[in-house]
A = this chain, B = another copy of it.
Amino acid sequence: MIRTLGFKHDGTCFDNISLNEIKSDQFAWYWVDFNQPTPEEEKELTSTFDFHPLAVEDCIERDYQRPKLDDYHDYIFFLLHSLPKETYDALELNLFVNDKMLVTFHHEELRSVNQLFEKLQHYSVKEAVDPVNLVHAIVDNIVDEYFPYVYGIEDQLNHIEERTDENSSHDLMDRLYDVRHDMQKLRRSLLPMRDLLYRLLNTTQISIDKEQQLYFQDIYDHVIKLVEMLESYRDFSSDIRDNYISVSSDKMNNIMMTLTVITTIFMPLTFIAGLYGMNFIHIPELEFQNGYFVVLGVMALIATVMFFIFRKIGWLRFSRSRKKKRRRIFLK
């Protein structure tokens, strides 16, 4: 579907304008949104707007494309990653911008674009709106959508950390690696978007005035904050992993201690019992009236001595369960 908005010089705004009409001089500038376009509609990028084939190729291809900004001589073309509702697999938004035009192109329905389009469609007075304002609004929305995802990462890491020494920590590490995987996806979108915003701040292709620059600077700031949060989480997740390994090794030590203590106490006792279970014709001890009780006593003595030795060298410690306090990494 192709949606259009035309803005006259007096600030009034009209929608549902045909693509031929919208490029005429009656409009100061216009926004054309290719929302999940059909292959037929995709061709308008070339036939109506005459965009460069390389930019058109980047739009149409459904392959992964990293955020980037290309300067074609009459317009800039750039590409952002927007986050969808449920996954961390970013959706692409392609934008063609100059001072008279904003063309957006996306293969999937995008919340941030929709909201803005409908808002402009239904309010009558739109003073002082120009393509730069629109681009700011779209980019701001897209960047703001990252925050809940990034905070979600933190929640998951905290949840995993709290459970590190539970016995059911069986697939905890697996979850941790999934979270790291998601972090990597976010980072792969945010790092080039940081560079892109830096270039957008310094492009001469569209006229961003000093006041508008402050607003783009503010988005740039947020992206830096998001990137730093992800760096922090990465370190944190490495520490969780390393801690898990040491907890796991502690557990193994405990299990082995138990095994060793039991074996070391019972082996000599069982041996003694076996000794007096032998059928030699002449074993003097067997004939003592109280031999059995003496042996029982010796056995008790051996077990007791062993017990105190193990307590001395610390092998009779039992694992206390540790309480974790939940904490926030970033938000206070």
Interface on A for B, CB 8 Å cutoff?
52, 54, 62-66, 68, 70, 72-73, 89-91, 165, 167-168, 170-171, 173-174, 177, 180-181, 184-185, 188, 210, 214-215, 217-218, 221, 224-225, 228, 232, 235-236, 239-253, 255-260, 262-264, 266-271, 273-292, 295, 313-315, 317, 319-320, 322, 327-332
Contacts and interface: CB of A to CB of B under 8 A. Distances in A.
Given A167-B317, A246-B173, A319-B313, A258 B255 contact: no
Nearest to A91: B332
A146 B259 CA distance: 49
A39 B34 CA distance: 43
Contacts of A247: 173-174
Contact of A242 (B54, B177, B251, B327): B177
A125 to B, nearest CB: 20
Contacts of A65: 225
Identical subunits present: 5
Is chain A's interface secondary structure helix, strand, loop, or mixed overall? helix
A331 B63 CA distance: 6
Given A271-B273, A280-B276, A292-B280, A252 B256 contact: yes
Contacts of A72: 214
A162 to B, nearest CB: 11
For A181, A185, A246, A282, the residue with the greatest tally of chain B CB atoms inside 10 Å of its CB is: A246
A8 to B, nearest CB: 28
